[in-house]
Structure 1
């Protein structure tokens, strides 16, 4: 008969490892787990507005190119903006301060109304990403005529 010695800390370490793996999965899903590569919470800063026919998202992304971005509409009410900010190249020399780091980010936004994902448009000008999201026909307001009698 083979017997093993009971080691109570093995259960604790096993559970800690499982918790660590689960947290990494969450960070991978909603943002990079390495805090040195993760921008500040709420990055990029954005505004969400609407008019009668469209929703508009404007996000501040200075120094980024459209090729650094991935914009997805999931279902008809989830917007995802993913991007990679590259490490800025500097001339050789002595660095006295370096705050601009390479980073990956993901912003997930639940939209207030369903949109038509096939008609979404995005542009990037002067560091501002503008996304136009046309509302689905059923989400647009309809004027109802009231009849008398």
Structure 2
């Protein structure tokens, strides 16, 4: 078939490819995770946040974490969750690959301003920490009747 690119365009693409390779060599390749199941370092536990007009639901996926060791607090609309996940290791074993996170962690999530810090509940079941925060009554939408 016909080549759509002229020799000048081909050399230009080759130059861009060479430049990309030099940048990868200089700065390293892909500092972010690759793949749908990958998570960047420091992002344990995984978090889902959902909201309704009445409440905010935060789910933290904490398998292998003792719920009694979790520290949960709210200060100036920032929800902080910290704890530690420990894993059993054999002293004489050489680990060639270790994908499971262990150690201390801390996650901070900025909450909407209308969340009432006095109406927050936390429950942990099957490695899922569910934090439910109610919105302030004054911030909830209300219907005004016309007379």
**Same-fold status (TM-score > 0.5):** yes
Quote how far apart the aligned CAs of 1:145 are: 2.4
Report the equivalent of 1:138: 138
CA drift of 1:111 comes to 0.8
In the superposition, the TM-score normalised over structure 1's length comes to: 0.62
State whether structure 2 residue 102 is matched by structure 1 residue 102.
Answer: yes
Equivalent residues in 2 for 1:118-129 (5 A)? Answer: 118-129=118-129
Q: Give the TM-score normalised by structure 2.
A: 0.62
Q: Which residue of 1 aligns with 2:116?
A: 116
Higher alpha-carbon Rg: 2
Q: Report deviation, 1:85.
A: 1.4
Counterpart in the other structure of 2:85: 85
Count, aligned residues: 107
Distance 1:130 1:40, change over 3 A: same
- Matched with 2:13 is none
Question: CA offsets, 1:37-65, max 9 Å, x none?
Answer: xx823322111111221110001111111
Q: Which residue of 2 aligns with 1:55?
A: 56
Distance, in Å, in 2 between the alignment partners of 1:78 and 1:91 is 38
Structure 1 spans left out of the alignment, 5+ residues: 1-38
